[in-house]
């Protein structure tokens, strides 16, 4: 029996159009800071925002960091740290792209502070590694390790990537 490729092509087109519509609030502002209102802090490196003065609710992953999973040791502290940064004043994001899961990637700033850099410096997140690249905040991570700050105060703190490989995602663990 021969199957048609049209349904697959149609499904792929719908998926691409949905992804484009999802990113639309920030498409015109790529590489430009956009003031946002924080709607929800998911964990230490992901939040939901809405562009100001008006715009569509969008999930954003902070580029350059990897915070502990919410169900992992240090996860609630990382989420609380990001919440404190969000409460300190007006936030701006600069969209830099998308991750492998389709989420908007962005640099997050509170006043003059780079929130991703601060999260790593405080020991609430790791500099995001890819292959042999230690990530953009490797010097801040090294200082946090030396000072045993945040998650580095715990012996054997597990990188989130390793935690997910061993235990799965927090969402998977809490599904009915």
Judged against a pLDDT cut of 50, whether residue 4 lies above it is answered with no
The per-residue pLDDT for 104 is 95
Percentage of the chain lying above the pLDDT 70 cut:
80
pLDDT, tens digit, 9 for 90 and up, residues 115-159:
999 999 999 999 999 889 999 999 999 999 999 999 999 888 899
N-to-C CA span, the chain: 38
Q: Residue 121 and residue 161: Cα distance in Å, rounded?
A: 19
Residue for token pair 């490797």:
138
The per-residue pLDDT for 31 is 73
The per-residue pLDDT for 119 is 98
Judged against a pLDDT cut of 60, whether residue 28 lies above it is answered with no
**What residues act catalytically?**
61, 69, 103
pLDDT band at 173 (very low <50, low <70, confident <90, very high): low
The per-residue pLDDT for 16 is 44
Length of the chain: 176
Give the range among 14-23, 78-87, 113-122, 125-134 with minimum mean pLDDT. 14-23
Q: Residue 118 and residue 174: Cα distance in Å, rounded?
A: 30
């Amino acid at each position: 029996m021969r199957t048609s490729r049209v349904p697959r092509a149609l499904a792929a087109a719908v998926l691409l159009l949905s992804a484009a519509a999802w990113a639309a609030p920030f498409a015109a502002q790529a590489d430009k800071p956009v003031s946002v209102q924080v709607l929800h802090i998911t964990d230490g490196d992901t939040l939901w925002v809405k562009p100001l003065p008006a715009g569509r609710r969008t999930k954003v992953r902070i580029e350059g960091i990897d915070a502990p999973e919410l169900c992992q040791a240090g996860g609630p502290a990382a989420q609380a740290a990001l919440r404190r940064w969000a409460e300190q004043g007006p936030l701006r994001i600069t969209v830099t792209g998308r991750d492998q899961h389709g989420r908007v990637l962005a640099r997050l700033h509170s006043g003059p502070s780079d929130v991703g850099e601060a999260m790593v410096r405080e020991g609430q997140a790791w500099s995001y590694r890819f292959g042999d690249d230690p990530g953009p905040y490797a010097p801040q991570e090294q200082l946090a390790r030396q000072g045993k700050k945040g998650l580095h105060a715990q012996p054997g703190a597990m990188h989130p990537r390793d935690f997910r490989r061993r235990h799965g995602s927090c969402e998977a663990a809490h599904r009915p």
